[in-house]
């Protein structure tokens, strides 16, 4: 039942869910992404030919009122096309909030960033240094950071799951960037999994630092079940960095006690750990207080969007929320 859309709580006093992490990509890239996931998740039930209409209909079936649509170029040559694709796609989807991206080889990063933010009206930019295969926090990327800082816009950046990707991020360089560009809102996608002690410290020190719990919630549920002796775990459980999770275990829970107002919960839909109802169940496994859940499911995203000059999403959510 992980792979079926259905009610996630909108209406009847439920909590709406604004998803800050969705991938509707051009068909060729969608195929590549799904094929890649199938490589490490045998039996992954999403078709390589899934269409934008199908993804959208699943999101609507799961009552997702708004979502961030994230793209990222694998090589410089597709950068401009991909950003244009996201502009055109999201222009026709009321719920979609598009983000742009660029490549380390993009010759004029300031120009591409300004095109995305000023001409296309994107809320912010996203980088996936592991998939894009370049480090994010290096001097070459400063022109991007400068534009985001000048305009107070968000940078969504993949962090964590180093063992799984077999890659490594320079976390000191990341911290220095957060410090050097205090108006740029840095969202650590996947919350540095599983370096939650560091995530907790950075939330304490930098008000422009945020977390997105995409996949992290499901992995921590898996970890807790592993701990309590459940056996039918998905194959992915083997790359959980169990010792590092163990070391950071207490800090995972402290994040939600101390900084729920800067933590959001996205999904990687349609290539994450399931459809929204199952991923909501993963969140509810932890029995967080209602206030924490409201922050994770919509409060934090709404706050980030309006802080960054985007629309007042909270006002457009169903009655009772916001």
Q: What is the smallest separation between the CB atom of 266 and Zn ion, expressed in angstroms?
A: 8
Nearer to Zn ion, 10 or 269 (CB): 269
Q: What is the smallest separation between the CB atom of 21 and Zn ion, expressed in angstroms?
A: 6
Nearer to Zn ion, 63 or 268 (CB): 268
CA–CA distance from 130 to each of 1, 134, 177 (Å)? 30, 7, 18
Q: What is the smallest separation between the CB atom of 30 and Zn ion, expressed in angstroms?
A: 12
Nearer to Zn ion, 10 or 34 (CB): 34
By the 8 A CB rule, do 170 and 140 touch? no
Nearer to Zn ion, 241 or 268 (CB): 268
Q: What is the smallest separation between the CB atom of 149 and Zn ion, expressed in angstroms?
A: 24
Number of residues lying near Zn ion (CB under 5 A): 1
Nearest to 270 by CA among 64, 59, 93: 59
Q: What is the smallest separation between the CB atom of 268 and Zn ion, expressed in angstroms?
A: 4
Q: Which residue is nearest to Zn ion (CB)?
A: 268
The residue behind tokens 């410089």 is 76
CA 214 to chain centre: 5
Helices and strands in the chain: count of H runs, count of E runs: 15, 8
Q: What is the smallest separation between the CB atom of 169 and Zn ion, expressed in angstroms?
A: 15
Nearer to Zn ion, 101 or 295 (CB): 101
Q: Residue 231 phi/psi, 5° resolution?
A: -110, -30
The residue behind tokens 């509810």 is 284
Give, as ranges, the residues between 234 and 273 that touch Zn ion (CB under 5 A).
268
Nearer to Zn ion, 112 or 268 (CB): 268
Query: Residue 78 interacts with Zn ion (CB under 5 A)?
Result: no
Nearer to Zn ion, 79 or 197 (CB): 79
By the 8 A CB rule, do 155 and 118 touch? no
Taking residue 179's Cβ as centre, other Cβ atoms within 10 Å add up to 13
By the 8 A CB rule, do 269 and 70 touch? no
Q: What is the smallest separation between the CB atom of 54 and Zn ion, expressed in angstroms?
A: 18
Sheet holding 67-69, edge to edge: 19-22, 67-69, 96-100, 124-127, 154-158, 185-189, 209-212, 263-264
Cα maximum dimension of the chain: 53
Q: Which residues bind Zn ion (CB under 5 A)?
A: 268
């Amino acid at each position: 039942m992980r792979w079926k859309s259905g009610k996630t709580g909108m209406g009847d006093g439920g909590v709406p869910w604004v998803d800050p992490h969705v991938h509707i990509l051009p068909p060729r890239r969608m195929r590549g992404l799904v094929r890649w996931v199938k490589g490490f998740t045998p039996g992954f039930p999403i078709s390589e030919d899934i269409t934008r209409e199908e993804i959208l209909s699943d999101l609507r079936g799961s009552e997702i009122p708004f979502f961030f649509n994230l793209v990222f170029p694998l090589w410089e040559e597709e950068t401009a096309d991909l950003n244009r694709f996201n502009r055109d796609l999201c222009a026709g989807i009321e719920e979609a909030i598009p983000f742009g991206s660029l490549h380390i080889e993009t010759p004029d990063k300031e120009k591409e960033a300004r095109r995305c933010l000023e001409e296309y009206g994107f809320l912010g930019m996203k980088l996936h240094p592991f998939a894009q295969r370049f480090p994010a926090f290096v001097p070459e990327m400063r022109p991007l950071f400068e534009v985001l800082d000048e305009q107070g816009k968000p940078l969504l950046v993949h962090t964590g799951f180093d063992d799984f990707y077999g890659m490594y991020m320079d976390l000191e360089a990341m911290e220095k960037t957060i410090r050097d560009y205090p108006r740029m809102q840095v969202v650590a996608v996947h919350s540095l999994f599983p370096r939650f002690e560091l995530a907790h410290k950075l939330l304490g020190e930098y008000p422009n630092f945020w977390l997105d719990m995409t996949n992290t919630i499901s992995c921590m549920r898996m970890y807790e079940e592993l701990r309590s002796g459940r056996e039918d775990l998905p194959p992915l459980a083997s790359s959980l960095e169990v010792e590092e999770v163990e070391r950071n275990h207490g800090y995972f829970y402290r994040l939600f006690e101390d900084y729920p107002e800067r933590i959001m919960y996205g999904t990687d839909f349609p290539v994450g750990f399931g459809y929204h109802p199952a991923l909501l169940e993963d969140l509810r496994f932890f029995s967080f207080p209602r206030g924490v859940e409201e922050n994770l499911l919509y409060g934090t995203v709404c706050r980030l969007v309006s802080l960054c000059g985007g629309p007042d999403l909270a006002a457009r959510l169903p009655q009772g929320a916001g």
